[in-house]
């Protein structure tokens, strides 16, 4: 076949060559096509299959780069650009919250009051003003007012207490802290551990009474910030006194699934890139978006809020996520798009069917963490036309999106022009996370269907490729891998194990360190969690590896929630035996009333892993171990624990 094609091509070329240069060019093109078809037919198939996807994404990427270049050229900051948005439609709803409607002009006026108050309080360019404020329209208005002065705002997790709260305030080196009045007890508990120079301001969520307001004190150490807003006229609008487009805007803390949270640096450029990236990949200008996520994290505070501040979209905020109210809220606010993260979709899917399931106008849901196992069930039940699943770390530069709704995919790498957006999957030791290098000392690309760690090449001149890291420079350096594909280059290493299929679609496997070895095999905690949740009526389940004395590797253990005592362990063991290989089935179970969650609905496993399978550390939880001969989970008490430790019970 190849010889026939070559002969035909040669004959055609001979004719065309006699007719001049143009024909020569055409001949070369035809020869090239024939060569590809003959020797690289599979590549041709992949290219034809993925070309529409890649070209759409390329067009969106060009638009993202265009707007970032525009901002960079004019040294625009977020409050500067928001003023342009306000001028275009001052009376359009910006934020919807409970029964409140905040227009774009009202949000800016509020932020100008914040600027005036803080300027009078001595806050200046370069200062750090922490924000411990619950979800409400004032929250983004507060940090925009701070940004106009050139100060930086750490967005502190409102769930933090004690040492974690002290750490978050101190690691950011806050000069001042604005906190919601409901968190005053938490502040008073730690105030003696904070710097005496830290200025404390109490914020209350209430309509401003500016007509009869009187200045009042707020106590010896705490000032009533809302009262100051009521007694201070808005500052006249001016361009921000900041460091321009590349200047620092926010600190956003990692979720803290392991160790204390780290403060990631968000510049104006990074904010714009993340917000516009999602918008151009799947949203429209006239959307009404529903956001029940906490605004102290990137997902809610940048991705969703950014749609309002940059793109002029109306965003409905929710004080706290409620699975049962998710789609009823969408109906209330007439939302056309809705944000999700982590386990939210599983919780919503577990709610009883209701008319609200299909009475809403939501056409697109966007976020990250929609499990492949429930993807199709979710979109079918709730009649969702489009899913924009995206992936990216707050502190990183490796951001991707699933632009065509392929179930389970978190994004893709182009097989046609992979160098346009320099991301890749490299081979690593899945337990240590260390890159596997070749004889020259450079990293190796993972092949299709081969697990590896996702990386993004660092390019300081490109806003899409910059790596700003954390406030802690040592922590930042740990997320950089050097000498990747050539000596001297560098990339952000995500720590997430992904796999790419032949078409370039990327699928999440696990976190490095979460994967563990048992019976000589690698076990993915994410895959086991998905199987258990599916068989146990979508209960919360968290899987981790625990050490067993005198045994190689780590035995799988699962913490699973059973509030009403209806968990059927016999059925669970049977279902898992049918679905999972023997090495992946959890050896131990810990049945609990609840599992600790981060603000972005990730289950915490560090403390559970430390407790292991010791009944003395399990508090009131019930422990079980898997008896493979019986194929059942049996109760694990102190006596059974000692027999496992001594080797009398073999796992």
pLDDT at position 460 is: 74
Average pLDDT over residues 149-165: 91
pLDDT at position 396 is: 78
What does CATH list as the number for 74-320? 3.40.50.980
Q: For the whole model, what pTM was predicted? A: 0.80
What does CATH list as the number for 412-510? 2.30.38.10
Identify the residue with better confidence: 469 or 598: 469
Is pLDDT of 23 > 90? no
pLDDT at position 548 is: 86
Pairing of strands 490-500, 452-457: antiparallel
CA distances from 85 to 64, 142, 144, 552 (A): 17, 18, 14, 60
Question: What does the pLDDT look like over 337-357, one tens digit per residue?
Answer: 999 987 789 889 989 999 999
Query: What is the C-alpha to C-alpha distance for residues 154 and 165, in angstroms, rounded to an integer?
Result: 12
pLDDT at position 16 is: 47
Average pLDDT over residues 28-51: 68
Which of 36-40, 322-326, 410-414 has the lowest average pLDDT?
Answer: 36-40
pLDDT at position 554 is: 83
Contacts of 475 (CB under 8 A, 6+ apart): 262, 469
Average pLDDT over residues 27-48: 65
Average pLDDT over residues 246-270: 83
Model confidence band, residue 553 (pLDDT cutoffs 50, 70, 90) = confident
Identify the residue with better confidence: 582 or 551: 582
Closest-CA residue to 294 (of 498, 107, 136): 136
pLDDT at position 126 is: 95
- Could you tell me the fold of the domain covering 514-646? GMP Synthetase; Chain A, domain 3 (3.30.300)
Q: Which H or E run contains 80? A: helix 78-88
**Among the ranges 24-38, 306-320, 533-547, 593-607, which has the highest mean pLDDT value?**
306-320
DSSP labels for 90-102?
A: TTSEEEEETTEEE
Model confidence band, residue 15 (pLDDT cutoffs 50, 70, 90) = very low
Is pLDDT of 510 > 50? yes
Average pLDDT over residues 12-24: 51
Query: What is the C-alpha to C-alpha distance for residues 313 and 310, in angstroms, rounded to an integer?
Result: 8
Is pLDDT of 248 > 50? yes
Average pLDDT over residues 226-233: 94
Where b means 16+ CB within 10 Å and e means fewer, 613-636 reads bebeebeebbbbbbeeeeeebeeb
Q: What's the full length of the chain, in residues?
A: 651
Identify the residue with better confidence: 282 or 105: 105
Average pLDDT over residues 457-465: 76
Which DSSP category does 425 fall into?
E
Is pLDDT of 3 > 50? no
Average pLDDT over residues 482-500: 88
353 backbone φψ class: left, alpha, beta (φ>0; ψ -120 to 50): beta
Q: Tell me whether the CATH fold assigned to 74-320 matches the one assigned to 412-510.
A: no
Model confidence band, residue 212 (pLDDT cutoffs 50, 70, 90) = low
Model confidence band, residue 81 (pLDDT cutoffs 50, 70, 90) = very high
Is pLDDT of 11 > 50? no
State the burial class of residue 386 (Cβ atoms within 10 Å of its Cβ: 0-12, 13-18, 19+): middle
Model confidence band, residue 40 (pLDDT cutoffs 50, 70, 90) = low
Q: Considering the chain, what is the average pLDDT of its residues?
A: 86
Strands (E), 222-356: 222-224, 248-253, 263-267, 288-291, 314-317, 337-341
Which of 158-172, 521-535, 592-606 has the lowest average pLDDT?
Answer: 592-606
Question: What does the pLDDT look like over 188-200, one tens digit per residue?
Answer: 999 999 999 999 9
Model confidence band, residue 255 (pLDDT cutoffs 50, 70, 90) = low
Model confidence band, residue 599 (pLDDT cutoffs 50, 70, 90) = low
Model confidence band, residue 414 (pLDDT cutoffs 50, 70, 90) = confident
Is pLDDT of 365 > 60? yes
Is pLDDT of 612 > 60? yes
How far apart are the two ends of the chain, measured CA to CA in Å? Answer: 58
Take residue 190 and report the two structure tokens written for it. 């730690």
pLDDT > 70: percent of the chain: 89
Model confidence band, residue 520 (pLDDT cutoffs 50, 70, 90) = low
Average pLDDT over residues 555-564: 89
Which of 66-80, 142-156, 294-308, 536-550 has the lowest average pLDDT?
Answer: 536-550
Query: What is the C-alpha to C-alpha distance for residues 399 and 465, in angstroms, rounded to an integer?
Result: 9
Average pLDDT over residues 240-252: 94
pLDDT at position 282 is: 79
pLDDT at position 175 is: 96
Is pLDDT of 17 > 50? no
* Whether 452 contacts 423, CB under 8 Å: no
pLDDT at position 146 is: 98
pLDDT at position 367 is: 94
Average pLDDT over residues 501-517: 81
* Whether 273 contacts 392, CB under 8 Å: no
Domain locations in the chain as residue ranges: 74-320, 412-510, 514-646
pLDDT at position 415 is: 84
Could you tell me which residues are beta bridge partners of residue 260? none
Question: What does the pLDDT look like over 284-322, one tens digit per residue?
Answer: 778 899 999 999 999 999 999 999 999 999 999 999 999
* Whether 456 contacts 472, CB under 8 Å: no
pLDDT > 90: percent of the chain: 47
Which of 359-363, 381-385, 483-487 has the lowest average pLDDT?
Answer: 483-487
Helix boundaries (H) for 382-488: 473-477
Closest-CA residue to 624 (of 634, 616, 632): 634
**Among the ranges 219-228, 527-536, 582-591, which has the highest mean pLDDT value?**
582-591
pLDDT at position 216 is: 59
């Amino acid at each position: 076949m190849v010889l026939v094609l070559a002969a035909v091509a040669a004959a055609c070329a001979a004719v065309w060559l006699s007719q001049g240069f143009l024909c020569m060019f055409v001949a070369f093109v035809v020869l090239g096509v024939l060569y590809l078809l003959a020797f690289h037919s599979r590549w041709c198939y992949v290219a034809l299959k993925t070309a529409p996807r890649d070209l759409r994404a390329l067009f969106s990427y060009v638009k993202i780069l265009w707007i970032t270049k525009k901002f960079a050229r004019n040294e625009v900051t977020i409050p500067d650009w928001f003023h342009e948005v306000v001028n275009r439609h001052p009376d359009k709803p910006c934020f919807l919250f409970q029964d409140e409607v905040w227009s774009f002009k009202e949000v800016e006026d509020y932020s100008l009051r914040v600027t005036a108050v803080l300027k009078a309080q001595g806050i200046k360019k370069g200062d750090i003003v922490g924000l411990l404020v619950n979800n409400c329209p004032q929250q983004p208005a507060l940090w925009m007012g701070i940004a106009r002065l050139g100060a930086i705002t750490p967005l502190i997790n409102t769930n933090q207490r004690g040492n974690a709260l002290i750490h978050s305030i101190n690691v950011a080196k806050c000069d001042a802290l604005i906190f919601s009045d409901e968190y005053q007890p938490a502040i008073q508990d730690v105030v003696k551990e904070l710097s005496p120079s830290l200025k404390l301001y109490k914020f209350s969520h209430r309509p401003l009474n500016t007509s009869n307001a009187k200045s009042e004190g707020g106590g010896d150490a705490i000032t009533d910030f809302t009262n100051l807003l009521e007694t201070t006229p808005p500052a006249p609008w001016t361009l921000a006194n900041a460091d321009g487009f590349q200047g620092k805007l926010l600190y956003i803390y990692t979720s803290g699934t392991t160790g204390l949270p780290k403060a990631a640096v968000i510049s104006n450029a990074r904010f714009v890139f993340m917000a516009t990236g999602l918008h151009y990949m799947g949203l429209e200008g006239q959307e009404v978006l529903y956001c029940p996520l906490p605004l102290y994290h990137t997902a809610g505070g940048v991705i969703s809020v950014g749609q309002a501040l940059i793109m002029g979209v109306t965003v409905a905020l929710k004080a706290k996520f409620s699975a049962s109210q998710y789609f009823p809220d969408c109906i209330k606010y007439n939302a056309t798009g809705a944000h999700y993260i982590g386990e939210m979709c599983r919780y919503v899917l577990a709610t009883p069917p209701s008319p609200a399931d299909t009475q809403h106008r939501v056409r697109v849901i966007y976020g990250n963490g929609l499990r492949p196992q429930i993807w199709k069930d979710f979109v079918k039940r709730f009649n969702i036309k489009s899913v924009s699943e995206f992936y990216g770390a707050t502190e990183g530069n490796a951001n991707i999106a699933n632009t065509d709704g392929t179930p389970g995919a978190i994004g893709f790498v182009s097989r046609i022009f992979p160098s346009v957006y320099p991301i890749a999957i490299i081979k690593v030791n899945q337990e240590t996370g260390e890159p596997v290098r070749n004889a020259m000392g450079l990293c190796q690309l993972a092949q299709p269907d081969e697990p590896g760690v996702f990386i993004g090449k660092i390019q300081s001149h490109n806003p899409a490729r910059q790596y700003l890291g954390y406030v802690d420079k040592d922590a930042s350096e740990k997320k950089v891998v050097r000498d990747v594909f050539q000596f001297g280059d560098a990339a952000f290493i995500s720590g997430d194990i992904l796999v790419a299929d032949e078409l370039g679609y990327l699928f999440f496997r696990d976190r490095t360190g979460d994967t563990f070895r048992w019976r000589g095999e690698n076990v993915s905690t994410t895959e086991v969690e998905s199987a258990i949740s599916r068989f146990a009526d979508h209960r919360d389940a968290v899987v981790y590896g625990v050490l067993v004395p005198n045994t190689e590797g780590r035995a799988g253990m699962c913490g699973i929630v059973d509030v009403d005592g209806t968990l059927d362990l016999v059925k669970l063991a049977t279902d898992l035996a049918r679905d999972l290989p023997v090495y992946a089935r959890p050896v131990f179970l810990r049945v609990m009333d609840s599992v600790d969650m981060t603000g972005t609905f990730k289950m915490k496993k560090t403390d559970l892993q430390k407790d292991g399978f010791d009944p003395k550390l399990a508090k009131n939880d019930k422990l079980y171990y898997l008896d493979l001969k019986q194929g059942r989970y049996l109760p694990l008490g102190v006596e059974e624990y000692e027999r496992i430790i001594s080797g009398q019970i073999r796992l």
